Chains A and B, each alone.
Chain A
Amino acid sequence: MGKIIFKTLSVLCLMLAMASVTVAAEPIKVGALFSVTGPASFLGEPERNTAVMVVDKINKAGGIKGRKVSLIVYDTQGDATKAVQAATRLIKDDKVVAIIGPSTTGDTMAVIPIVEKEGIPMISCAAGIKITDPAKKWVFKTAQNDNLAVQRIYEYLKTQGIKRVALLTVSDSFGSSGREQLKGLAKSYGVDIAADETYGPKDTDMTAQLTKIRGSEAKAIICWGTNPGPAIVARNVKQLGITLPLIMSHGVSSKKFIELAGDASAGIIIPSGHVIVADQLPGSDPQKKALMSYVKEYQARYKAEGDHFGGHAWDAMTLVKMALERGAATPAAIRAQLEKTRNYNGIGGIFNFSPTDHAGLTKDAFVMVTIKNGDWVLIKDKKAGGKAGAKK
Chain B
Amino acid sequence: MKRELLKFLLFAIVVSVVPAFVSGGYLLNVLVFVGIFTMLAVALNLLLGFAGQISLGQAAFYGLGAYMSGVLTASHGMNPWVAMLIGAGAVGLLTFVLGFPILRLKGHSLAMATLGLGIIVYIFFNETVDVTGGPSGLSGIPNLTVGSFVFDSDLKNYYLIWGFALLAILLAVNLTNSRIGRALKAIHQSEVAARVLGVDVHLLKVEIFTISGVLSAIAGSLYAHTVMFISPTSFGFNVSIELLTMVIIGGLGSIYGSVLGAALLTLLPELLRTFQDYDIIVYGLLLILMTMFMPGGLVRGIPDAAVALYGKLKGGGADVER
Contacts and interface: CB of A to CB of B under 8 A. Distances in A.
Contacts of B259: 5
Nearest to A10: B21
A112 B260 CA distance: 31
B7 A12 contact: no
Given A8-B260, A92-B29, A171 B136 contact: no
Contacts of B25: 88, 91-93
Contact of B136 (A3, A6, A106, A117): A106
Interface string B150-179: 001010000000000000000000000000
Interface of B: 7, 10-11, 14, 18, 21-27, 29-30, 33, 126-127, 129, 134-137, 139, 152, 154, 227-231, 233-234, 256, 259-260, 263-264, 267, 270-271, 273-274, 280, 302-303
Nearest to B15: A9
B127 A171 contact: yes
Given A109-B139, A176-B135, A78 B152 contact: no
A10 B267 CA distance: 12
A148 to B, nearest CB: 17
Given A9-B263, A80-B233, A171-B127, A93 B152 contact: no
A22 to B, nearest CB: 10
A110 B66 CA distance: 14
A113 interface: yes
Nearest to A180: B129
Contacts of A13: 18, 21-22, 27
A88 B139 contact: no
A84 B26 CA distance: 10
Contact of A79 (B23, B126, B135, B233): B233
Contacts of B135: 106, 171-173, 175-176
Given A85-B29, A93-B25, A110-B231, A128 B136 contact: yes
Contacts of A8: 260, 302
B284 to A, nearest CB: 13
A87 to B, nearest CB: 9
B137 A109 contact: yes
B7 A84 contact: no
A7 to B, nearest CB: 9
Nearest to B269: A82
12 contacts: A2-B7, A9-B14, A12-B264, A12-B271, A17-B27, A19-B270, A81-B33, A81-B234, A92-B24, A106-B137, A110-B137, A180-B129
A17 B231 contact: no
A110 B233 CA distance: 12
A79 B266 CA distance: 13
A358 B198 CA distance: 68
Interface of A: 1-6, 8-10, 12-13, 15-17, 19-20, 37, 78-81, 84-85, 88-89, 91-93, 105-106, 109-110, 112-113, 117, 128, 130, 171-173, 175-177, 180
A176 B134 CA distance: 7
Contacts of A4: 302-303
In the A-B complex, list the 7 residue pairs whose CB atoms are closest, starting with the nearest: A92-B25, A2-B10, A173-B136, A89-B26, A173-B135, A88-B29, A93-B24
A4 B24 CA distance: 24
A1 B257 CA distance: 10
B170 to A, nearest CB: 14
Contacts of B137: 80, 105-106, 109-110, 173
Contacts of B7: 1-2
B233 A84 contact: no
Contacts of B273: 19
Contacts of B139: 109, 112-113, 130
A109 B229 contact: yes
A175 B136 CA distance: 9
B129 A176 contact: yes
Nearest to B13: A2
Contacts of A176: 129, 134-136
B302 A130 contact: no
Contacts of B136: 105-106, 109, 128, 130, 173, 176-177
Contacts of B129: 176, 180
Nearest to B21: A13
B145 to A, nearest CB: 15
Contacts of A172: 126, 135
B211 to A, nearest CB: 24
B231 A16 contact: no
Nearest to A201: B135
B14 A5 contact: yes
Contacts of B14: 2, 5-6, 9
A176 B131 CA distance: 13
A84 B270 contact: no
A223 B278 CA distance: 36
A88 B22 CA distance: 14
A119 to B, nearest CB: 14
A80 B134 CA distance: 14
Given A13-B22, A85-B26, A37 B280 contact: yes
A1 B30 CA distance: 23
Given A80-B229, A171-B126, A176-B134, A12 B234 contact: no
A172 B125 CA distance: 11
B227 A84 contact: yes
A10 B129 CA distance: 44
B27 A113 contact: no
Contact of B227 (A10, A19, A80, A180): A80
Most buried by A among B11, B227, B267: B227
A146 B271 CA distance: 38
Nearest to B272: A19
A141 B267 CA distance: 31
A149 to B, nearest CB: 16
Contacts of B302: 4, 8
A17 B24 CA distance: 8
A79 B234 contact: yes
Nearest to A14: B21
A121 to B, nearest CB: 19
Contacts of A17: 22-24, 27
B171 to A, nearest CB: 18
A94 to B, nearest CB: 8
A129 to B, nearest CB: 10
Nearest to B14: A6
